[in-house]
Amino acid sequence: MYNKLNEIKADFDEAITKVQSKDELEQLRINYLGKKGIVTELLKGLKNLDAAEKKVAGKEVNLVKNSIEEALITNGKRIEEEALLNSIASAEKFDYSIPSKLNTGSLHPITIIQRQIEDIFKSMGFIIEDGLEVQTEYNNFEAVNIPKHHPARDMQDTYYLENGQLLKTHTSAAQNAIMKKYGAPKPGETLKVLFPGRCFRNENIDACHENTFFQMEGMMIGENISISNLIYFMKVLLSEVFQRDVKVRLRPGFFPFVEPGFELDVNCLICGGEGCSTCKQSGWLELLPCGMIHPNVLEMGGIDSDKYTGFAFGLGLTRLAMMKYEIKDIRVFNSANLKALKQFSKK
Amino acid sequence: MLISMNWISDFTDLSGIDYKELIGRFTLSTAEVEDIYEVGRNVNNVVVGEILEIADHPKSKKLHLLKVNVGDEIVDCVCGAPNVFVGAYVPFAKVGGMVGTLEIKSAEIAGCLSNGMCCSEKELGISEDNSGLMILSKEYNPGTDIKSFMQLEDTVFEVDNKSLTNRPDLWGHYGIAREISVLTKRPLKPLDVFETEEYDSLDKISVEVQSDKVYRYSSISIANITKKVSPVNMKIRLTYCGIRPISLLVDLTNYLMLELGQPMHAFDNSIVKEIVVKNFENTFAFSTLDDIERTIEPETVMICNGSEPVAIAGIMGGASSQITEDTTTVLLESANFDGVSVRKSAVKLGLRTDASSRYEKILDPELTVPAIKRFLKLLVSIDPDVKVTSALTDCYVKKYDSVTIEFDKKYVDKYTGIDISADQIEETLTALGFHVTRNEDDFKAVVPSYRVTKDVTIKADIIEEITRIYGYDNFELKSTASMLKPVEPMYQRENEYKMKMYLAEHYAMNEVHSYIWYDNKLNKQLGIETDRNVKIMNSEMADNDTIKSTMIPSLIIGASKNLDTYSDVRIFEIGRVVKGLKNDGLCNERKHLGILLASKEKSEKELYFLMKEVLEQLTMNIKSSQLHYSEISGEAVPSYAHPVNVVNVYLNNIEIGCFGCIHPKIEQKIDKKVKMVFAEIDLENFEEYLPKAMTFDEVSKYPGSTVDLSFLVDKTMKYQELQSYLNQYENKNLIQYSFVEAYEDANVLKDKKSITVRFEFGSKERTLESQEINDMTAEILDLLGKEGIGLR
């Protein structure tokens, strides 16, 4: 009996070292501890022994049984660990350098630059307004103090429609409607509005000229808006737009809807003011027209020009986009040429 | 416009002033200077030379050997000029001197030594005349440096004409000198003129003004004019200012125009005797003095000698009455014509002259008489024997009202935001020619006549005068002292940007821009028919004269341009269209989103359902809402749409647009393999629906159950029909149902299809019994059974 037990134990110990998988382990368990397993059969055989023998032999058999169970558990863990290590060792190494298929789409460059500038103005409390593209002669000309016989109203510059309306030639066409919509600001408040828009001029297209282009105009109206405020705001805003401290200078400029009117120059972006070919050695770049809103324009917008003053300024968005992205040919904007436009995939 | 500093110095003392700095200030205070030219610096060591002897050159018929007295010596010179003669005084460039880019050296010319060069006017930069040597008068001795009597050295600056548009007073040197005198705080000298009072008793010239486009017509006649050539310094100034010297009388009229800004015309008085200014009823041909025959329209004002037209008013004189070599008597015109009328005539004639471009700025009529008096002053100084043969005739038909502007210092303070002293205000305006009366801080300023025609009429104009002279660089900068107020969110604009971002980022679409008009030519090529919509009356491009009423045609064209490069194109645009006219006759302008998906790889069905997903996803993102659709047919189907698969799109019962497949006839013209699907949304209608405020529904603590049921229905039945039956079932324990899939199989299901729907049952109070769920399922099946629908 003892010999037999020792034999069984020795056989098992040998077999279990050879076990490599969970299936083999299970098979081994069944062989020894299953319903008809070797150890189970031994235990069954105990019932034929007398009580004293049974007690001694039972103890011995159970010891073997326990040690087998223990070995099964230990080796189970061993097999799991080995399998894990094996699976790690045999894992496929992925080629992280294979390019992903990205398809990001793109926004139009005008949308991008317009949004950037709008964000700056919004942070300074400006309302963004969106005027119509088809305008009346009144809004486009009369209401901004461009009288009947002004050269700007000549047929060759403006697209006139058969119903007597026209395609707006400048964003200023929205001024009157905006003043009427918001009215004069409450005491102590200012009306601050930015109004970007698409404008049209009846001319032939080439690399530098478009009949359809974007402008952005802003105005600020209040009881005590002054030239000093105008220069201050322009300086702050342009420093934000160009992300650097800009120097500005004002020169007299004539635009019918402002008085006084100015041409605003910034120190050259390329040379910083030293003089280079971009600024024609002057150190200055002509950037935007601006001025104090003409009293007639305020009055036509229903705002008392004795009580209120304001300033207005315009920015050529298309031109700014060309400068910023170094676009040489203005025709790119309306081309729908995706080879060009897909490049504008960043926000 | 070119401005000579020598000329300016005639009117204001500029000694000791740095010109560059002054011109820089002029840019900041008055008008933009585009360029500064230092001229005459390259003429050096050129003296008066007297030709003493002339001998033939041994080897050349054209060249001569000269002996020239240059003051301190007599030098040999080889000269090729045709007009040499003994005794002539000529400009002579000595060895070591310089003329233009030419350095003068001792040199052999065709074998003979030449120690210097006799110069023409062109070589000295005085005029374009290179026909021969310049012959000098004998008032200066040989050896005298010509620069001692010729104003060759000058600083000339070019003012951007556009920046003078609104300053008629700055179209002559005297006006510029006035500005400069203000900037330098030096006095402006009065204009030196010839008084004509003593001739007032002579007969006047007969001047009759029949046109209402004339403000003033002044004239005088002069006889016994013997000099033909202008003094050299006058020629130099004309040349430096861009005008070619021609002959004394022509040069003088040009000189006066450049000096005072007043265009003048000299008629030969032997031809032109009486002046009638009028319009003609009919179009006729007229030869201008440049010998071009031009068509004169009835609107164009003409100057006539009696009934015979002799000049186009304010633009150009006629060939028949112009000054010639033989002219000794002139009738001088100094007039003021309506600026708008002159501009329109000049545009119509395609003839924009120095005179017309000045008139169109609206000149001061007060200038005409001083111009005549100044002309006489200069003429008499050049040709002392001339005789005035008429009284100064002045037909002043229309006058501008005098303008007085009243304001106070408080107004200036408010407008400028800074403190400019009352003394400085008074000083500036007075220097600019305003007649100022001041009572402490209250001002009354009478605007000078040369500013009243156009640019100074109201208080705000006074601000510009004060501030530009004060200098914008000297302004203290201040922020506004306004109350902070939150800006109301601009949902519509934000939504637009969200849409763009979503389409670009999530669906990898590309935003494009197109024109507001149709490309009629390309539309025709692709077989895209468009509606008769509002047209542009004066387009440069005849094919592009119709305003778009839909975004889709330009998107189809945009996609077609890219299909050679990309097999899959997804583009969108947010832009304006015009949907005909509104009741008030104005254009019904709308903002539309157009999307076009085009692919040579995907099936039409894939594209269709992708587009549907795009629209619904956008709507869900922005409006937290579902879209609905309705079929359209016949007239309602856009011409570019596939008649079978096209629907109108609704958001909360508002029609917001349309989506569907592109008509195959268009696709086939673009590419045999391409399939296209479009969508167009009216964003204003889209924005009419305001999303409901977000609410929260308590999550049930008890588990729910789901049951999938597959219904067998007719193949043609739409899901929404099934929905309409399911919606009739009401039970608070049915939380929701949703579409799982539709399955077709011609072999097994034949003309039927299977639609699987998932039902979610549950309660907030308890876990439902399985019997309850079975009951509800049975009720649903009963309900559908009545419509003839059973389980698969």
CA B660 to chain centre: 43
Helix (H), strand (E) counts: chain B: 21, 37
Please state which CATH number belongs to domain A109-341.
3.30.930.10
Q: Are B260 and B367 spatial neighbours (Cβ–Cβ below 8 Å)? A: yes
Q: For residue A323, what pLDDT is reported?
A: 82
Angstrom CA distances, B435 to A129, B260, B306, B427, B460, stand at 44, 21, 42, 11, 17
Cα angle B401, B404, B405 (rounded to 5 degrees) comes to 135
Which two three-digit tokens encode residue A84?
Answer: 């894990």
In chain A, which residue's Cα lies nearest the Cα of B559?
A: A336
Q: Do domains B2-40+154-184 and B404-470 have the same CATH topology?
A: yes
Could you give the CA distance from residue A57 to residue A45 in angstroms, rounded to a whole number?
Answer: 10
- Provide, as residue numbers in chain A, all residues whose Cβ is less than 8 Å from the Cβ of B472: 227, 231, 249-251, 262
Q: Are B589 and B576 spatial neighbours (Cβ–Cβ below 8 Å)? A: yes
- Give the nearest partner residue to B504 out of A107, A127, A335, using CB atoms: A107
- Give the nearest partner residue to A151 out of B343, B537, B570, using CB atoms: B343
Pairing verdict, β B654-662 and B675-682: antiparallel
**Could you tell me if B343 lies within 8 Å of chain A, comparing CB atoms?**
yes
- Give the nearest partner residue to B460 out of A249, A294, A338, using CB atoms: A294
Put simply, the answer to whether B485 touches A134 (Cβ < 8 Å) is no
Chain B interface, best mutation among A117, A119, A133, by max B CB count within 10 A: A133
Residue B559 backbone zone (phi > 0: left; psi -120 to 50: alpha; other: beta): alpha
Mean pLDDT over residues B691-703, rounded? Answer: 87
Put simply, the answer to whether A161 touches B343 (Cβ < 8 Å) is no
Please give the share of chain B, as a percent, with pLDDT higher than 90. 89
Highest mean pLDDT pick, B105-114, B524-533, B753-762: B753-762
- Give the nearest partner residue to A254 out of B165, B487, B510, using CB atoms: B165
- Provide, as residue numbers in chain B, all residues whose Cβ is less than 8 Å from the Cβ of A339: 562, 565
Give the largest Cα separation in chain A, rounded. Answer: 134
pLDDT digits (tens, 9 = 90+) for B575-598: 999 999 999 999 999 999 999 999
pLDDT digits (tens, 9 = 90+) for A227-266: 999 999 898 888 888 888 888 899 999 899 999 999 999 8
Residue B506, classified by CB atoms within 10 Å of its CB into exposed (0-12), middle (13-18) or buried (19+), is middle
Could you give the CA distance from residue A308 to residue B358 in angstroms, rounded to a whole number?
Answer: 36
Residues 106-145 of B with CB under 8 A from A: none
- Length reported for chain B: 792
- Give the nearest partner residue to B415 out of A149, A227, A254, using CB atoms: A227
Q: B43-148: CATH homologous superfamily?
A: Nucleic acid-binding proteins (2.40.50.140)
Put simply, the answer to whether A162 touches B534 (Cβ < 8 Å) is yes
Residues 140-179 of B with CB under 8 A from A: 163, 165-167
Q: How far is B484 from chain A (nearest CA, A)?
A: 8
Please enumerate in sequence order all residues whose Cβ is within 8 A of that of A78, keeping only pairs 6 or more positions apart, or say none: none
Binding site of B, by residue number, is: 455, 461, 464-465
Domain ranges of chain B: 2-40+154-184, 43-148, 197-396, 404-470, 491-688, 705-791
Q: Are B504 and B512 spatial neighbours (Cβ–Cβ below 8 Å)? A: no
- Provide, as residue numbers in chain A, all residues whose Cβ is less than 8 Å from the Cβ of B484: 125
Q: What is the DSSP string of B273-312?
A: -SEEEE--SS-EEEEBTTS-EEEEPTTS-EEEETTEEEEE
Q: How far is A131 from chain B (nearest CA, A)?
A: 11
Q: How far is A5 from chain B (nearest CA, A)?
A: 56
Residue A278 has pLDDT above 80, yes or no: no
pLDDT digits (tens, 9 = 90+) for B432-451: 999 999 999 999 999 999 99
Residue with tokens 């800074």: B418
Put simply, the answer to whether B537 touches A161 (Cβ < 8 Å) is yes
Residue A34, classified by CB atoms within 10 Å of its CB into exposed (0-12), middle (13-18) or buried (19+), is middle
User: Is A137 annotated as contributing to ligand binding?
Assistant: no
Q: How far is B264 from chain A (nearest CA, A)?
A: 24
Q: What is the SS3 assignment for B489? A: coil
Assign domain B404-470 to its CATH architecture.
2-Layer Sandwich (3.30)
Put simply, the answer to whether A163 touches B581 (Cβ < 8 Å) is yes
Cα Rg of chain A (Å, integer): 43
Q: For residue B401, what pLDDT is reported?
A: 93
Show the beta-strand stretches assigned E in A25-177: 127-128, 134-135, 166-167
Q: For residue A156, what pLDDT is reported?
A: 67
Find out if CATH 3.30.470.10 is the number for domain B2-40+154-184.
no
Paired residues of B571 in beta bridges: B510, B596
What 8-state DSSP symbol labels residue B716? Answer: T
Please give the share of chain B, as a percent, with pLDDT higher than 70. 100
pLDDT digits (tens, 9 = 90+) for B525-569: 999 988 889 999 988 777 889 999 999 999 999 999 999 999 999
Task: Indicate the CATH number of B705-791 among 3.40.50.720, 3.30.70.380, 3.30.390.30, 3.20.20.140.
Answer: 3.30.70.380
Assign domain B197-396 to its CATH architecture.
3-Layer(bba) Sandwich (3.50)
- Give the nearest partner residue to B482 out of A151, A189, A296, using CB atoms: A189
Put simply, the answer to whether A338 touches B476 (Cβ < 8 Å) is no
Domain ranges of chain A: 2-91, 109-341
**Could you tell me if B585 lies within 8 Å of chain A, comparing CB atoms?**
yes
Q: Are B351 and B294 spatial neighbours (Cβ–Cβ below 8 Å)? A: yes
Exposed e or buried b per residue across B751-769, where buried means at least 16 C-beta atoms within 10 angstroms of its C-beta: eebbbebebebbeeeeebe
- Give the nearest partner residue to A227 out of B165, B475, B490, using CB atoms: B475
- Provide, as residue numbers in chain A, all residues whose Cβ is less than 8 Å from the Cβ of B511: 105-108, 111, 341
Q: For residue A1, what pLDDT is reported?
A: 67
- Provide, as residue numbers in chain B, all residues whose Cβ is less than 8 Å from the Cβ of A190: 480, 482
Q: What is the mean pLDDT of chain B?
A: 94
Q: Are B42 and B99 spatial neighbours (Cβ–Cβ below 8 Å)? A: yes
Could you give the CA distance from residue B73 to residue B115 in angstroms, rounded to a whole number?
Answer: 11
Binding site of B for Mg(2+), by residue number, is: 455, 461, 464-465
pLDDT digits (tens, 9 = 90+) for B320-348: 999 999 999 999 999 999 999 999 999 99
CA B500 to chain centre: 32
Mean pLDDT over residues B681-701, rounded? Answer: 90
pTM confidence score:
0.85
Please enumerate in sequence order all residues whose Cβ is within 8 A of that of B147, keeping only pairs 6 or more positions apart, or say none: B40, B43, B46, B153
Q: Are A24 and A78 spatial neighbours (Cβ–Cβ below 8 Å)? A: no
Q: How far is A95 from chain B (nearest CA, A)?
A: 26
* Dihedral of alpha carbons A14, A15, A18, A22, sign: negative
Q: Are A225 and A190 spatial neighbours (Cβ–Cβ below 8 Å)? A: yes
In chain A, which residue's Cα lies nearest the Cα of B160?
A: A253
In chain A, which residue's Cα lies nearest the Cα of B460?
A: A259
Q: How far is B219 from chain A (nearest CA, A)?
A: 29
- Give the nearest partner residue to A338 out of B27, B414, B566, using CB atoms: B566
Q: For residue B694, what pLDDT is reported?
A: 83
- Provide, as residue numbers in chain A, all residues whose Cβ is less than 8 Å from the Cβ of B473: 249
Exposed e or buried b per residue across B462-472, where buried means at least 16 C-beta atoms within 10 angstroms of its C-beta: bbbbbbbbbeb
Least confident among A272-276, B23-27, B35-39, B75-79:
A272-276
Q: For residue A347, what pLDDT is reported?
A: 47
In chain B, which residue's Cα lies nearest the Cα of A125?
A: B487
Q: For residue A346, what pLDDT is reported?
A: 58
Of the pLDDT bands very low, low, confident and very high (cuts 50, 70, 90), residue B483 is: low
Residue A51 has pLDDT above 90, yes or no: no
Chain A interface, best mutation among B406, B457, B537, by max A CB count within 10 A: B537
The HSE-up count of residue A95 (CA atoms within 13 Å, CB side) is 4
Q: B491-688: CATH homologous superfamily?
A: Bira Bifunctional Protein; Domain 2 (3.30.930.10)
Residue B226 identity (one-letter amino acid): T
Residue A128 has pLDDT above 60, yes or no: yes
**Could you tell me if B535 lies within 8 Å of chain A, comparing CB atoms?**
yes
